[in-house]
Amino acid sequence: MSVVNTLVRRELSGYFATPVAYVFIVIFLILSAAFTFQLGYFYERGQADLKPFFDFHPWMYLFLIPAVSMRLWAEERHTGSIELLLTLPVTLWQAVIGKFLAAWLFIGMALALTFPIWITVNYLGDPDNGVIFASYIGSWLMGGGFLAIGSCVSAATRSQVVAFIISICLCFVMLLAGHRLVLDFVSAGLPQWLVDAIASISFITHFESISKGVVDFRDLLFFGLLIGVFLYATTVVIEMKKAD
Amino acid sequence: MIKIENLTKSYGDLVAVKDISFTVSPGEVLGFLGPNGAGKSTTMKMIAGFLSPTEGSISVCGHDVESDPMAARRVIGYLPEGAPAYGEMTTSAFLRFVGELRGMDGSTLDARITEVVRQLNLARVLEQPIDTLSKGFKRRVGLAQAILHDPQVLILDEPTDGLDPNQKQEVRSLIQGMAKDKIIIISTHILEEVHAVCNRAIIISGGKLLADATPDALEARSRYHQAVTLVSPAAEQIAGTLKGVGEVSKVEVEGHQVTAFPKSGKQIFAQISTLITQHAWEVSEVQLERGRLDEVFRTITMQGGRS
């Protein structure tokens, strides 16, 4: 455990040693405010909830999380420090989890810094804070899902730009899997169970059900499994691509 | 003790390391020689536990690198090629990070950091980000990281690459100072370095082990071994006379320089000295050659490449 702890602390201090962390947080906060008030009609709706705020999270994460995850392993491979890290008494799993946790905590920090909007809605009305809390958890879990996918893609290349673009594409597919656009398209030729399966891997479906305030075990399991599977895939990819 | 048996590493059809076996005992400083792409780094990466062998086994101080990797890694200090590090970290934060992952903490870690900082003269750059350091300092930070836990086994991939002559000398004496009870493997393509620090040399080319001997024994394989070289304006005339000497097998002239090669097992230095006085040759320099390592290196690796 102390190994993972050391790795997490190093990674986190790495974020804040460069402007990356500050740029990310500032852009995250500006975008979330802009979406909520301009596109989400926060005031005009006249309702005391944070739906307009959380509705845009999947779309914000689509671009912002690959920007965090792209460096996870691609940079390590580019500078060669992966060779140093993986010859220290550290298992591959510890390294993968340490890096993932650090990035996830960082996303959590950015998310926590949106607290003024929570204060605002409580000042203006009397929202259901349970639903808001559940939405924050759901948003963070969804962020973890995006991150795990990004971690796996990042392990496959030494170019951060390539990792960024491929992560966006993959995450986009995961996001839209439950959308009518995709489902109408696949339902024509595929058996119903497969269509259901495709619909059920959609991030939006699971995030929306959590952010209604219904914390269903199946939604938590979905994100948990997704993170687990993609972190496992990360270890496989690193092992495979070590030599080049 | 490092024991390597029938080590092979292949990538698809490409065989990078082919059936290499050798053992290294404490007190030995083993130099890995070979042209670029010969398999030196691949072999070192396998010993350090970064790459898995395709075939064969490696045991480090009794720990098998494949079946008990953590125990093996604990006794190894490794400097990868190019001395990679986390550039945004300061030297002191980086050393502390590596120390913590190696299970050190508190006053033990502080004492070890102080010690390696002194050994490698890093005090001046302790609070600077590694990215901003010169190549020489980066290399020394990499070395500091490798020796931080005072390992029994040191694997250094081109430890003096990019250092200036003074720094090279410092690193060499550091390695010599640690050599007594440790196993040290260094790779290099600077042949003089082999003489300066190694007491054993292995030549690898095309993934195969071609020679394993002391640097002196390697030099003895040179055709220059025991040859005598003279420098004189009358080179041609001297060469003519030397050709007539019974023990001399061959004479080569290059400008003002004459080199006489002895027949195998013969000594010709004394005889040539006498000739110089007898004929009163105007000679500015006389040298008994020990053998030329670069020539041996070339001969061995060229032959190895052909077979």
Give the residue on B whose Cα is nearest the Cα of A19. B88
> What value does the mean pLDDT take over residues A71-91?
93
Q: Does A1 touch chain B (CB under 8 A)?
A: no
> What value does the mean pLDDT take over residues A30-53?
80
Q: Does B97 touch chain A (CB under 8 A)?
A: yes
Residue B268 has pLDDT above 90, yes or no: no
Domain B2-220 - what CATH class?
alpha beta
Cβ-defined contact of A84 to B84 (cutoff 8 Å):
yes
* Mean pLDDT rounded to a whole number for chain A: 88
Q: Does A216 touch chain B (CB under 8 A)?
A: no
pLDDT at B264: 78
What is the C-alpha separation between B43 and B16, in angstroms, rounded? 9
Indicate the pLDDT class of residue A244, thresholds 50, 70 and 90: low
CA distance from start to end of chain B: 32
Q: How many CA atoms lie within 13 A of B37 on its CB side?
A: 3
> Which residues on B lie below 8 Å from A13 (Cβ)?
89, 93
pLDDT at B164: 87
> How does pLDDT run across A139-165, given as a tens digit for each residue?
999 999 999 999 999 999 989 999 999
Tokens of residue B212, six digits = 């394993």
What is chain A written as a DSSP string?
-HHHHHHHHHHHHHHHHSTHHHHHHHHHHHHHHHIIIIIS-HHHH--SS-HHHHHTHHHHHHHHHHHHHTHHHHHHHHHTHHHHHTTSS--HHHHHHHHHHHHHHHHHHHHHTTHHHHHHHHHHS---HHHHHHHHHHHHHHHHHHHHHHHHHHHT-S-HHHHHHHHHHHHHHHHHTTSHHHHHHHHTTS-HHHHHHHHHT-HHHHHHHHHTT---HHHHHHHHHHHHHHHHHHHHHHHHHTT-
Residue A111 has pLDDT above 60, yes or no: yes
Residue B26 has pLDDT above 70, yes or no: yes
pLDDT at B247: 83
The shortest CB-CB distance from A243 to any of B11, B73, B74 is to B11
Cβ-in-10-Å burial (0-12, 13-18, 19+) of B97 comes to buried
Residues within 8 A of B (CB atoms), A 176-195 only: none
Contact predicate A87/B78, CB 8 Å: yes
Tokens of residue B238, six digits = 């001297």
Indicate the pLDDT class of residue B305, thresholds 50, 70 and 90: low
Residues within 8 A of B (CB atoms), A 51-80 only: 79-80
> What value does the mean pLDDT take over residues B125-136?
93
The shortest CB-CB distance from A88 to any of B73, B84, B93 is to B73
Q: How far from B265 is each of A162, B153, B229, CA to CA, in Å?
A: 64, 39, 17
> What value does the mean pLDDT take over residues A100-107?
96
Residue B307 has pLDDT above 50, yes or no: no
> Which residues on B lie below 8 Å from A3 (Cβ)?
101
* Mean pLDDT rounded to a whole number for chain B: 89
Cβ-defined contact of B73 to A14 (cutoff 8 Å):
no
- Alpha carbon A65 to its chain centroid, in Å, reads 6
User: Which residue type occupies B247?
Assistant: E
Residue B54 has pLDDT above 70, yes or no: yes
Which of B127-141, B256-270, B290-304 is most confident?
Answer: B127-141
Q: Does B205 touch chain A (CB under 8 A)?
A: no
Q: What percent of chain B has pLDDT over 70?
A: 99
Closest CA to B14 of B37, B35, B48: B37
Residues within 8 A of B (CB atoms), A 3-22 only: 3, 6-7, 10, 13-14, 17-18
Q: Which CATH number is associated with domain B228-289?
A: 3.30.70.100
> What value does the mean pLDDT take over residues B29-48?
90
Q: How far is A162 from chain B (nearest CA, A)?
A: 22
> What value does the mean pLDDT take over residues A92-105?
96
Cβ-defined contact of A14 to B86 (cutoff 8 Å):
yes
> Which residues on B lie below 8 Å from A2 (Cβ)?
100
The shortest CB-CB distance from B78 to any of A6, A79, A87 is to A87
> How does pLDDT run across B224-239, given as a tens digit for each residue?
888 888 888 888 888 8
Residue B91 has pLDDT above 50, yes or no: yes
pLDDT at A124: 87
Tokens of residue A172, six digits = 């986009």
Q: How far is B80 from chain A (nearest CA, A)?
A: 7
> What value does the mean pLDDT take over residues A31-42?
82
Residue A37 has pLDDT above 90, yes or no: no
Q: What percent of chain A has pLDDT over 90?
A: 48
Residues within 8 A of B (CB atoms), A 82-141 only: 83-84, 86-91
Residue B72 has pLDDT above 70, yes or no: yes
The shortest CB-CB distance from A6 to any of B85, B97, B145 is to B97
> Which residues on B lie below 8 Å from A17 (Cβ)?
88-89, 129
What is the C-alpha separation between B147 and B158, in angstroms, rounded? 15
pLDDT at A131: 87
Task: Find the range with the poorest average confidence among A24-28, A177-181, B79-83, B212-216.
Answer: A177-181
Residues within 8 A of A (CB atoms), B 119-148 only: 129, 145
Q: What percent of chain B has pLDDT over 90?
A: 47
> What value does the mean pLDDT take over residues B245-267?
85
Q: How far is B153 from chain A (nearest CA, A)?
A: 13
Chain A to chain B, count of Cβ pairs less than 8 Å apart?
62
pLDDT at B304: 61
Domain boundaries, chain B: 2-220, 228-289
> How does pLDDT run across B290-299, given as a tens digit for each residue?
888 888 888 8
Cβ-defined contact of B101 to A79 (cutoff 8 Å):
no
> Which residues on B lie below 8 Å from A86 (Cβ)?
49-50
What is the ipTM for the molecules in this complex?
0.87
CB-based contacts of A103, cutoff 8 Å, min separation 6: A11, A68, A69, A72, A147, A151
